[in-house]
Every structure is written in C-alpha cells, then in structure tokens.
Structure 1
Amino acid sequence: MSEPIVGRMLIDGKLVGGLGDQWLDSVDPVDESIIGRVPLGTRDDVEAAVVAADAAQKAWVDVDIKERSALIYKLADALEARAKEISELETRDTGNTIGPMLRDVHTAADRMRLYAGLGYEIKGQTIPATAGGLHVTTRVPFGIVGRIIPFNHPVAFAASRLAPALMSGNSIIIKPSEQSPLSACVLAEIYADLIPPGLVNIVTGDAETGAAIVRHPKIRRLAFIGSVSTGMAIQRAAAEVAVKTVTLELGGKNPMIVCPDADLDAVAAAAVRGMNFAWQGQSCGSTSRLLLHNEIHDKVLEKVVERVAKLKIGNPLDPSVNMGPMNSKAQLEKTLNYIQIAHQEGARIAYGGHRPVGGEFEKGYWVEPTVLSDVKMSMRVAKEEIFGPVLSVFRWSDLDEAIEMANNVDYGLTAAIWTKDIDRALYLARKVESGYLWINTVGTHFRNVPYGGLKNSGVGTEEGLDEMLSYTQIKAINFAA
C-alpha cells in the first residue's frame, strides 16, 4: 500500500502547512484506509490568505481582459495535463467512479475556457437620463471572493468556479470539503507557479475554517455549493459581520414526470442515468423522484428495476464498475436510515436497500442501488433529500396531481419532463417549480446555460454568463453637460 499523500495549502503563492500544525486525515471509502492528510487551516491561515488576496487583487484589477483570459487558458491546459492523475486521486478520495471523475476534469477545463472567452461581456450601459449629460454604468469587482466546495465534484467546482471570479477582476480563496480535499492540494501544486502570488489561495480545513472565511469582513462576496442547512448558516453568519453578497447552489428533491405517451425504454434508461448512480446518488441535480402515470407505471418500474439490477458495484477505479461506495460513514448511515424509514412508512423496496455482501464489501461505505415503489407524498423520503442512491417511484393519474406532487417540496433545483406532446411539455415547464428543466432528456449540464434553483435550492445561478457578472457590482458615473 502506498504512503498517504501529504497535501499543502496555497497561500500567497507558496505551498504551506497550517500555522496550527494540525492535520485532517482523508479516508478511502472503499476500505476505510487513510490515503492522505491535509492541513487543518486556522483563522490565522485564513487571515494570511486574505492579506495575500487583497494585495494581489489590487494589482489584478488593472490587468487587461486579454491578459486575464490568457492566464485562464493556461490554467485550463495545466489542469488537463494532469487529468488522469487527478481523476484517479479523486476516485479514491470520493468513492465516485473513475469515468465521471475523468470527465469532471475535462468539464472543468472546458468551463474555464468558456469564461476566458466571455470576458469582454463584462460591460456597462449608456443611459439617456438627461439631454445634455452623459450617464454610464461600469462593472467593478468585489475584491476578494470566498468559495466553499462540496465533496462530490471537488476539482470540477474548485477549478471551474475560480475562472469567472478571476475574469471579473477578483482574487479568490477556495476552501475544499474536508471529506475529499486531496485534489484541491494537487490543484494548489499545479497553480503555484502559474498564478500571481495571492490571486488564488486554497485553504483546507473543517467547518471552523469555512466559518472564518464566511465571517471575514474583507471577503464581501461568498459562493457556496452544498446542503440547505449549511447554506442558511452561511447566510446568518455572513450577515452578522457585514453586508455581503452570497450565492448558494443547494440541494434538490428533483422530479422526473413521465406522461403515458413517452418512449418507455428511453424513460427507463433516463431514470437510471438521472439518478447519478455513478456518484452513488450524491449529486444535487439527481432526479430522485420518478413520477409515473398510472397507465405506464408497472411497465416502467419493471424496466427500471431490470436496469438497476445490472449495475455493477465495486472498486470505483475499475472502468467496468457502475457504482462505488458512499463518500463517508455518515452518508452511508444516513442513506440506510432513510431506506428503513421508507419501509416503515409503507414504501416497498423494489430493489436493493441493503449493504452488499461479499469479501470486498466487509470494509468501506457500501450500499446497494435502491428503488422504492409505492411511495406517497406523506412519507419523509418523498420530501427530504437523501443524497444517496435511492430512487423513489410515485403514481399519478391527473396532470395537475403530478404538478402538485412535483412542487410539494421545499426544493426547486432540477426537473425532467417526458412527453411527445409539445403543448403538455410547455405547460409542465411553466408550472413545475424548478430552476433547471430537461424535456425528453436528463442529467446534462449544457455550456453557458445558467444552472441554479428556486425555493430552498439556492440563490443565484452558475455555469453561465450570469455567474461571471455576479462577481461584479454596478457603478454609475454621471457627467454634467
């Protein structure tokens, strides 16, 4: 067995340990072995990052868009040059399967290049407020951006999300998840010699480290991807120290509504694909609620179970494996608990529902891909996000009933609609309360299409032009005649 990796933080252009000389272990969810450790960043480490970021941003704001763009392209190329190494490390650190992890690296580079090309769209307006005067607006950066990254797509979010902040003239401090921080340390190694010192800082640590970023008065722009409870805590903590702009991409309990005229084989394939079993269901956009019309319910459920039963569970580094272990013991216990609750409340376990058996599954955070049928909206699994490989199947008979079921949750992130009737598709698209909808497809995030949720699923959007503009503030300038 190889020696555990020792990660370093990136502060002021230097790869450093924590000032407190404390460390966090990173565990392989396959066998619970320690595969690495990273510094436990302290408030003093965050302060050092802020000082460096502040100095770097004052110089960066005067750099032309062309030069900013050239740097982002260089960073994207450097990231892809180590794509194989990063994806293998992330697979070991997260439990996610190797294929999607490799795509994550390339997707991150693609999104970085997208923002490098959108830089010239950071522009203001001329306003005809008076006949003789000149009234214009310009966009200015916030200064320092704080971004907190979740465990499920570590480098994809860390790398791609720094691009719009930098293109807008900001510096950035990134805090990766303590559950899967190792790839961020590789990112620190890659970028240490490519980026002006202090422009990008990566501070590893736990919730207290994140709180120090959130509460620092000089960090006026915060972005977070993660759970609703943590997002709300960030809003509260930020408001206690300063007026800050906070964007949140949070959880989802996402419906896939299937009408009786849909292609049933395509629906079954999409239902399994949309559940993101390759991430063990640990993806906020997963369509974890399958709403089937009565006429087709039994046929589709049978097809879905057949497909789920064929998923291969095992070591996620094996390209033939479809699903690995849960990210952590806490995620495993949460998932198994929800399955038990669902069964107690009357849902039927159509497939899975247990830990797999066998020698390779004796250690690690394993659970079978699970399909629950006979789920009612009165059940907890119908409304609460599990963030595990559990697909809940519902029946409906009337279109308005399906809309009510889809909307009767606190979330509103994604939704999928399956029908060949364009009028019905447009009606459902208007009525379903979700920020990102698919019609007769599922799962794909399209380039430059804004991604974000309604209700408790978040504030603001990412992945499009609006994300880059959200890292700017509007300044109005008025010239007298």
Structure 2
Amino acid sequence: MNGEIKGPTLPEHLDIFYGGSWHKPQDGRYDDTFSPANGKPVTKVAVAGAKDVDAAVSVAHEAFLSWKTVPGTERARLLRKAADVLRANAVELARLDSWNTGNPLSKMLRDAEIAAIQLDFFAGLIPMIRGETIPQDETDTFHYTVREPLGVVARIIAYNHPVQFAGAKIAAPLAAGNTVIIKTPDQAPLACLRMAELLTDVFPPGVINVLPGKAECGKALSAHPLVKMVTLIGSAATGKLIQQSVAGALKPTILELGGKNPLIAFPDADIEKLAAGVVRGMNFTWAGQSCISTSRVFLHESHHDVVLEKVKAILERDYRPGVPFEPSTTMGPVISKEHHARVLGYIDSAKKEGARCVTGGKVPVLDKSMQGGYWIEPTVFADVKPDFRIAREEIFGPVVSVFKWSDEKEMMRLVNDTPYGLSASVWTKDLVRATKIVRQINAGWIWVNQTSKHFFGVPFGGLKDSGYGKEECLEELLAHTEIKAINVLLGDTY
C-alpha cells in the first residue's frame, strides 16, 4: 500500500471526563498523540494536571457516597450493561486502539470482548462480598464482619491494550462499590476516551472518570488524600515510585509490573509445539510489548539447534509488519520514537557483547505509508550469556534471548537469577517433572506446555519486582474492600 493510511473516526471529545461530563484542562494543555505505524500525529488530546486530578477526585468521592449504597444487584446490572455496550462497539474501539498503538486490527478485535467478559465476571462475583460470623467462648457476645468499599480507586493502565485494560479494570472496584478514575496511557488515550463517551449514560455521574495525562497526573492521583487505592499496569520503576507516593497514607496497591520471563524446554518436549510456543510466548504480534512475554528461552542442548531453525522459519513466514488495518498484517511496531531507539540500543549491545543474531535485528523496509513508523523485525539471539544486557533487563520489544543448557541445576539457577517473577513456561511430556519444576520457579503465573493465555478466575500477578496483588479473580474483588468487625453484647452487663 502506498500513500497515506486512512485512520478511524476519532472520539467526539478529546478532553477530560469526570462527573459525567467533559472538561477542558485547567492549564489549557493539549499534546499530540501519534500513530506508531507511521510516526505521524493523529490529533491533540488534553493533558490532565494536578488541578484537574483534584477536581476529578472530589467529584468521584462525592459520587462514592451514594454509589456505595446502591444494591449489589443493581451494580451487577449496570456492569453487565457496560459489557454489552463494549461488545456492541468492539470494532470501533479496536480500530482506535489499532491506530493509536500500531497493533494489527485483526488481533485487537477481541480486546473489548475480554473487557466485557471481566465486567460480566465481576458482576457475578458481587454476592461473594460478604462477611462471616465468628464463634467465641463467651456466650453473651456475638461477633461478625462486613466488607465495605474503600472509596475512590485510581487505576493507571498501560499502552499495549488500552481499551481492554480500561474496561476490565473498572470491573472489580465498581462491583465492590467504589468509584474509579482511569488514567489513560500517555501514548494511546483515544479508545479510552471513546469508551468514556459510550459509558456516559450507563453509570451515575462520577462513578467512572477518565483522565488522559502523563507522569504529573499519575503522581497527583497516587498522592491525593481522597484516593484510597492505586493500581498500576506498568514498569517496575513506575511501580516503585507509586509505592513511595502512597506510603505516607498507607494506601493499598495492586501492581502488575514487568517481567523477564523464562521458557524452559526439557529434552522430551514436543519439538513442533515447542517451536510454536517459543514464538507465541514472545508475543511478537505486539512487537514483544507484553509483560508476560517469555523473553528468555532455555533450550536443552539435544534440541537447541533444530528448535532455533524452526523458530526462525515460523517468524520469517508468519510475522509480517504492515498497515494496522490490513488483514495480512500480523505484527505491529513499538509504541514510540523513544522506545524504538531504546530497543534498537539493546539489539546493538547484544551484537557487541557477542550474541548471535539468528533472525531479525533490523528495521524492516516498508512502503511509503509506513515510513517514519517505529518498526523492528522479530529478533532472536542465540549464544547469550547470563551477564548480557538483553539477558537481564526487560526490553519490552520483539527481542528474545536463547540459552543452551545441559545441567538442570545450573539452568534453574539462571532461571531464577533475575529481580523479576511474573510468568514462566515449562515444556515437557513428563507431568511429574513439570510439577516438581514449577515449585522451584520464582514466578506468580506458570504455564505447562503452553504460554500467553489468561484464564479468568485464576489469580494473575507476579512476585518480586513483577508486582504485588492478584487480578482476574475473587482476590481482586476482595482487595477493593476493607473488613469491619462488629461485636454485639447480648447480655445485660458489660
């Protein structure tokens, strides 16, 4: 395709949404948002500052005082209504996200559905917000607990799946009776703003609020005294900054952070499925921009060479960068000019340190419509040493490091020799071996003979620098409540 790429219809509003209406930023700031596919600005979007945060939080707090009294059955009805709205507008939302992130439209079409599933899921879990009675030896005292919502919850989301995260992450706090402020990704706010437009009449004013903004916005949300919980999908560095910001107020957090995730292949692994799993686990469709990407691959020496050849063949055959809206496109760019330079810097350092580039490692040659975009070929490095930068640091790009192993004990030492602990993948036909190995891996989410899948109801979250707290499960819902204990004297005297 030559010439210009025609983008989708933009949201009607490009301002700040709170209290059920749209507001201009108080300092008048609007910044460009870009399409990574061609590096060109799409439009200007409001940038919420500290004053806007204060206004939005105040409105959300006032809305909370009434929303928390809404019966659970009614909250569930509204959550399911929101799910229906997202499903009905899934294509429009996917086109906006595809344009604003560069990810293939064909792969983004399911994002609104995933958000809708979580809205339905947490609507169904509302009856589980319940207390308990506590027996004691005293016969004249009755003890019980209740769970109550926290207040205003700030959810700071990432750019790789904007509308999926925005829609899904309102579910648990709203189900529990909280109000929510979504801070959109700096780089990709458009679909989140459209979601706000679509849900304006679903919830009472102030129950959901959407703030496009940058670091100042996130910092102000974290520090605001009326924000009672802060959650993040983002980097470990940002997670640590949030922890520092909320420490003085002792606010709870849920942090879903980065990873340097291992894929471990034993000699008896199915070679064809393993090769496909190595490719799928790296999430090359999204240019490797996924926290769960298995970017460190440990192949046994008995199959190392043959698996590498198969991985190379799959990538060169199936992963084609291109115009996001074209059905033939199977891979997107990285999100920004700055990140493009960063990822290429890692590739350059790997070559200088002595890693062998099996495939990729360059900027692809594309037609005129995508010149200026932030494209990088799917890249595989072999002969990687544990102290190489690409082996230790999260790249968040389409770069995978492959290690050859023979000694299981040493291999497992290297697997856990990282500050991260989000996900891992184990490949073997021996489920007894797999059961023992997964107990040794320091990660919060582990697949056996598969990778890259989420399963609603199963607690998702990492260990170590990969974060704190669990999502997509009952634990996420209950984390948005606090327990109150009540002790009732049944006798006549104290």
Q: Under a length normalisation based on structure 2, what TM-score does the superposition of the two structures give?
A: 0.95
Match of 1:458 in 2: 467
**1:112 alignment partner AA:** L
Alignment partner of 1:28 is 2:35: yes
- Equivalent in the alignment of 1:309: 316
For residue 356 of structure 1, what is the amino acid of its counterpart? P
1: distance between equivalents of 2:457 and 2:31?
Answer: 36
Kindly provide the amino acid, as one letter, of the partner of residue 444 in structure 2.
G
Shift of 1:4: 6.6
Partner Cα separation in structure 2 for residue 394 and residue 162 of structure 1: 40
Q: Does 1:156 align with 2:182?
A: no
The residue type equivalent to 1:362 in the other structure is Q
Question: Could you tell me how far 1:130 is from its partner in structure 2?
Answer: 3.0
Distance, in Å, in 2 between the alignment partners of 1:421 and 1:164 is: 38
- Which among 218, 223, 233 is matched to residue 226 of structure 2? 218
Q: Gaps (5+ residues) in structure 1?
A: none
RMSD: 1.3
The letter of the residue matching 1:37 is K
Q: Which of 279, 284, 288 is the equivalent residue of 2:291?
A: 284
Aligned to 1:194: 202
Task: Map Cα deviations across residues 171-213 of structure 1 (whole Å, 9 max, x no partner).
Answer: 0111011100111100110111111011111111111011110
Q: Structure 1's 10 and 358: CA in aligned 2 closer, same or farther, altered over 3 A?
A: closer
SS in 2 for 1:173: strand
Tell me the SS of whatever aligns to 2:51. Answer: helix
State the 1:217 CA deviation.
0.8
Partner amino acid, structure 2, of 1:450 = P
CA distances 1:289-329 after superposition (whole Å, capped 9, x unpaired)? 11101111111111111111111111121122111211111
Aligned residue type for 1:88: R
1:18 aligns with 2:36: no
1:247 corresponding residue in structure 2:
254
CA distance in structure 1 between the aligned counterparts of 2:185 and 2:450, rounded to whole angstroms: 31
Q: Secondary structure at the match of 1:127?
A: coil
4+ long deviations beyond 6 Å = none
Deviations 1:397-425 (A, max 9, x none): 12222211210001000000000111110
Contact 1:294 1:395 in 2 (8 A): yes
Query: Distance in 2 between the 1:358 and 1:182 partners?
Result: 26
Q: Which runs of 5+ in 2 are unaligned?
A: 1-5
Match of 1:375 in 2: 384
Measured in 1, the distance between the counterparts of 2:219 and 2:387 equals 36
1:324 aligns with 2:306: no
Partners in 2 of 1:257 and 1:158 — Cα distance? 33
Q: Does the residue aligned with 1:298 lie in a helix, a strand or coil? A: helix
Q: String of CA shifts for 1:342-392, please: whole Å, max 9, x gaps.
A: 111111111010101243453110111100001111111111100000111
The one-letter code sitting in structure 2 at the alignment partner of 1:438 is W
More deviation, 252-261/130-139: 130-139
Give 1:259 shift: 0.4
Q: Which amino acid aligns with 2:255?
A: L
Question: In structure 2, what residue type is equivalent to 1:36?
Answer: T
Give me the whole-angstrom Cα distance separating, in 2, the residues matched to 1:28 and 1:131: 67
Q: CA deviation at 1:154?
A: 0.6
1:62 aligned counterpart, secondary structure: coil
The aligned residue for residue 43 of structure 1 is 50
Superposition pairs for residues 53-68 of structure 1, below 5 Å?
53-68=60-75
More displaced, 471-480 or 12-21? Answer: 12-21
Aligned counterpart for 2:86 among listed residues 79, 103, 120: 79
C-alpha contact 1:10 1:192 (8 A) present in aligned 2: no
Distance across 1 between alignment mates of 2:300 and 2:473: 34
Aligned-pair CA distance for 1:55: 1.1
Q: CA deviation at 1:90?
A: 0.3
2:279 alignment counterpart: 272
CA separation in 2, counterparts of 1:22 and 1:239?
A: 30
User: C-alpha separation between the residues in 2 aligned to 1:100 and 1:124?
Assistant: 41
TM-score calculated relative to the size of structure 1: 0.98
In structure 2, C-alpha distance between the alignment counterparts of 1:24 and 1:102, rounded to whole Å? 27
Amino acid paired to 2:354: G
Provide the C-alpha distance between the structure 1 equivalents of 2:291 and 2:455, rounded to a whole number of angstroms: 16
Instruction: Say whether the 8 Å CA contact 1:15–1:189 is kept in structure 2.
Output: no
2:305 aligns to what SS in structure 1?
helix
CA displacement at 1:140 relative to structure 2: 1.0
1:295 is matched with 302
Asked if the contact 1:416–1:441 (Cα under 8 Å) also holds between the matched residues in 2, the reply is: yes
In 2, Cα distance between equivalents of 1:137 and 1:278: 47
Aligned counterpart, 1:415: 424
Query: What amino acid is aligned across from residue 188 of structure 1 in structure 2?
Result: A
Query: Does 2:96 align with 1:89?
Result: yes
Q: Deviations over 1:39-97 (max 9, x none)?
A: 11121211111111111111111111100000000001011111101101100101111
Higher mean C-alpha displacement, 228-237 vs 99-108: 99-108
- CA distance in structure 2 between the partners assigned to 1:390 and 1:297 by the alignment: 18
2:247 counterpart of 1:235? no
3-state secondary structure, aligned to 2:325: coil
Aligned to 2:483: 474
- Residue correspondences, number: 480
Q: Aligned equivalents of 1:305 and 1:401: distance in 2?
A: 27
Moved more, 246-255 or 27-36: 27-36
CA distance in 2, matches of 1:474, 1:196: 26
Partner of 1:404: 413
Q: Secondary structure at the match of 1:479?
A: strand
Alignment of structure 1 residues 71-220 onto 2, 5 Å: 71-132=78-139, 133-220=141-228
CA distance in structure 2 between the aligned counterparts of 1:354 and 1:451, rounded to whole angstroms: 34
Alignment check: 8 A CA contact 2:324 2:332 kept: yes
Match for 1:18: what amino acid?
Answer: P
Cα distance in structure 2, aligned partners of 1:480 and 1:293: 66
Q: How far apart in 2 are the matches of 1:376 and 1:138?
A: 53
* SS of residue in 2 equivalent to 1:118: helix
Question: What SS class does the counterpart of residue 429 from structure 2 fall into?
Answer: coil
Distance in 1, Cα, partners of 2:102 & 2:264? 30
In 2, distance between residues paired with 1:403 and 1:235?
A: 30
Greater displacement, 436-445 / 30-39: 30-39
Check the 8 A contact 1:4/1:37 in 2, yes or no.
no
Local SS of the residue matching 2:59: helix
CA contact (8 A) 1:419 1:425 kept: yes
Question: Aligned equivalents of 1:319 and 1:108: distance in 2?
Answer: 23
**Secondary structure of the structure 2 residue equivalent to 1:31:** coil
